[in-house]
Structure formats: C-alpha cells, structure tokens
Amino acid sequence: MAVERKSQSLRKVNEGDNVVDTPIVHDAQETIRTVEEKDRGVLGALFKTEAEKEVVRHQLKMVRKSAELVEKSFEYFSETKLKAVKEMYNDFLVKGKTRIRAERVEFFAEQEVALRNKVGTICREFMRDIMEEYNRLGEINVQFIRDQEEKRLQDNVYGFRDTVDKLLSDFKNILDEGLKE
C-alpha cells in the first residue's frame, strides 16, 4: 500500500507544457507563488512580466525533472529489490528441487531392489513347482497325455517368463517417466 501511494505521488509530471497536478508539483507551485507574492504583493502576482513567467516556467521544469528523477530512482530501487527477491526464490527452488530429486532417486532405487528381490523369490518358487510337475511327467504312462502335459508346462514357463519380463519392463518405464519429470 505504501509503495502504491508513493508511486501515485511520483507520476509523470510533464507532458509538453501541461503540468499534471501531483503532490510534488502542487507543493512546488504553491512555494513559487508564495515567494512571488511576498516579493511583489497581490497586484504584482496577478500581472507577471514575461521574464518572471519564464523564471516560473524554468522553476517548474526543474521541479518536474526532480520529480522524474525521484520516480526513476524509486523504479530502479523497486526493480532491484524485485530482482533480489526473484533470485532468492529461484535459489530456494533449485535447492528444494535438488533435495526432492535425490529423495525420489533413492526411493525408486529402493523400490527396484525390493521388486527384484520379490520377483526372484517368486521365480524360485515357480521353478521349484514346475520342476516337481516335470518330475511327475515320468509317472504318466500314456505318451499322448504326457506330451500334452509337457506342452502345458512349457507354455506355463514361457508365459511366466513373459509376464515377469513385462512387469520389470513396465516398472523400468515408470522409473524413466518419473526421472524425466
């Protein structure tokens, strides 16, 4: 709110010879009028000579330039402060993102190890069960039935391997997707 009031009092003062009534210019004009009235009295203030008018114009021009200088100084100060805040914010974001990325990489690595361990356990159990079933094939005396069971077991092995490979590939894709963001 204070910045807004300050910038309102520092608006551009001069556009050609038109004077905008800002608090700074208004005070300057009042000061000039007061000085002139004291020097010349009431009638003298009403009927100014061309030289006096020129002096007043130059004084007002100086006041306008001073107001513009104050406005530019305020703008420069504001921009500098804004840049400092932006740099501080960007630094905060970079540090925060770095920490979050490190935590995410650690999390994904832990999940991958856990998944591989779990898949390894499941594969060992599956292989143990399949080996037991293959061993039982020798007990089947009918060749046609034994061939059909052997084909079923082979299909189970291929299907299981495909499923495991797909799950690991999907997990890797999820990791790659998460790391790209």
| Domain co-membership, 40 together with 80 | yes
37, 45 contact by CB (below 8 A): yes
Residue 18 has pLDDT above 60, yes or no: no
pLDDT in the model for residue 128: 95
d(Cα 133, Cα 125) in Å, to the nearest integer?
13
Nearest partner of 15 among 5, 25, 3, 30, judged by Cα: 25
pLDDT tier for residue 40 given thresholds of 50, 70 and 90: low
Q: How far apart are CA 56 and CA 40, in angstroms?
A: 14
In contact, 28 and 59? CB cutoff 8 Å: yes
**Structural domain of 20:** 2-95
Q: 67, 95, 123 — which closes off a domain? A: 95
More confident residue, 104 or 22: 104
- Residue 90 pLDDT class (50, 70, 90 cuts): confident
Q: Tell me, yes or no, whether 14 and 40 share the same domain.
A: yes
User: Which of 54, 77, 95 lies at the terminal end of a domain, its last residue?
Assistant: 95
Query: Do 12 and 90 lie in a common domain?
Result: yes
Give the pLDDT confidence score for residue 129 in this predicted structure: 93
Residue 105 to residue 32: CA distance in whole angstroms:
72
Together in a domain, 6 and 73: yes
* pLDDT tens profile 91-123: 888 888 888 888 888 888 898 899 889 999 999
Structural domain count, the chain: 2
For residues 6 and 45, state if they share a domain. yes
41 pLDDT band (50/70/90 cuts)? low
**33/17: higher pLDDT:** 33
Considering 66, 95, 124, which residue would you say is the last residue of a domain?
95
pTM: 0.47
Cβ contact 36:44 at 8 Å: yes
Q: Do 109 and 81 sit in the same domain of this protein? A: no
Q: How confident is the model at residue 4 (pLDDT cuts 50, 70, 90)?
A: very low
**What's the pLDDT score for residue 112?**
86
Task: Report the DSSP pairing between strands 14-15 and 18-19.
Answer: antiparallel
